[in-house]
Amino acid sequence: MEHFETEEQQVEALKRFWHEYGKSIVGGAILGLGGLWGWNYYQQDQMQAQEVASSAFEQVLAKAENGDELTQAVEAFRAEHGSTGYSAMSDLLQARVAVDAGELDKAAPLLERAIADLDDTVKPLAQMRLARVQHALQNVDAALATVEAINNSAYEAQREELKGDLLVAKGDITAARTAYQAALAAGGTMSNPALQMKIDELAQAS
């Protein structure tokens, strides 16, 4: 599993995930429903709707680097295709626009809504982003709760490092050191070489 620290990496990861898995996940769910209940007409109708939404969502992704255009594209997409299963993806992009604009109060609920709907493959990215937003909003306890809810082992190093950052913000140096050490044991320096520097700084402070 790859790890992503920057917004650009997260957008690219979202694009790759969508192109590789998005259509098959949504389409497979609909095919399964049709096969289970024999709703052939419903299946065909929904598949057509998903194909239209898929094309529209790719247009949204194409505007991912332009904040103003993306905002307009996401709003239009949600109005037209909000019930087709892609709303969580559009929420992630909209949250990114809000963060870039410094509108953290708008970003937090968008990320929370996305987390509720996202597949476990992508959800940790949104959870870590939400935790950082909550931290920036001076709600460290909420940020810690968000981090603790990440249960994808592929993100253990990032989760523990972020947990350590939050514990430092709370002044709990002992617990922060434990979290950083757990991140290090999970290979954290591979995704963030600065992790060792954080550990060394805590050692000097003690």
The answer to whether 134 and 152 have CB atoms below 8 angstroms apart is: no
- 180 & 100 share domain: no
Provide the domain limits for residue 21. Answer: 7-138
* Structural domain contains residue 2: no
Can you give the pLDDT at residue 159?
95
Task: For residues 127 and 164, state if they share a domain.
Answer: no
Residues 87 and 175 grouped into a single domain: no
Q: Which residue has the higher pLDDT, 36 or 94?
A: 94
Q: What is the mean pLDDT of residues 82-96?
A: 75
Please give the DSSP secondary-structure letter assigned to residue 171.
T
What number is the average pLDDT over the span 105-120? 89
Same domain assignment for residues 56 and 78? yes
What pLDDT, on a 0 to 100 scale, did the predictor assign at position 46? Answer: 45
**In the listed set 84, 111, 138, which residue is the last one of a domain according to the structure?**
138
Together in a domain, 129 and 97: yes
The reply to whether 49 and 88 lie within a common domain is: yes
Q: 96 and 197: one domain?
A: no
Which is more confident, 164 or 116?
A: 164
Same domain, 98 and 200: no
Confidence of residue 79 (pLDDT cuts 50, 70, 90): confident
The per-residue pLDDT of the chain, averaged, comes to: 76
How far CA 114 is from CA of 1, 54, 117, 195, in Å, comes to 20, 18, 5, 28
What's residue 193's pLDDT?
A: 82
Residues 121-146: tens digit of each pLDDT: 888 989 999 999 999 999 999 999 99
109, 138, 167: which is the final residue of a domain? 138
Percent of all residues in the chain with a pLDDT value above 70, rounded to a whole number: 66
Residues 165 and 130 in one domain: no
Q: What is the pLDDT of residues 8-54, one digit of tens each?
A: 555 565 555 555 545 444 444 433 444 444 434 334 444 555 556 66
User: How many residues in the chain?
Assistant: 206
Q: Which residues of 116-149 are buried (b: 16+ CB within 10 A; e: fewer)?
A: eebeeebbbbbbbbbbbbbbeeeebebbbebbee
Counted domains in the chain: 2
Cβ–Cβ under 8 Å, residues 46 and 30: yes
The helix/strand/coil state of 3 is coil
Q: What is the mean pLDDT of residues 189-198?
A: 82
Note the pLDDT of residue 112: 94
The interaxial angle of helices 173-185 and 194-205, nearest 10 deg, is 150
Residue predicted with more confidence, 43 or 206: 206
Query: Would residue 170 count as lying in a domain?
Result: yes
pLDDT over 90 (residue 88): no
What is the rounded CA–CA span in Å between residue 51 and residue 61?
A: 15
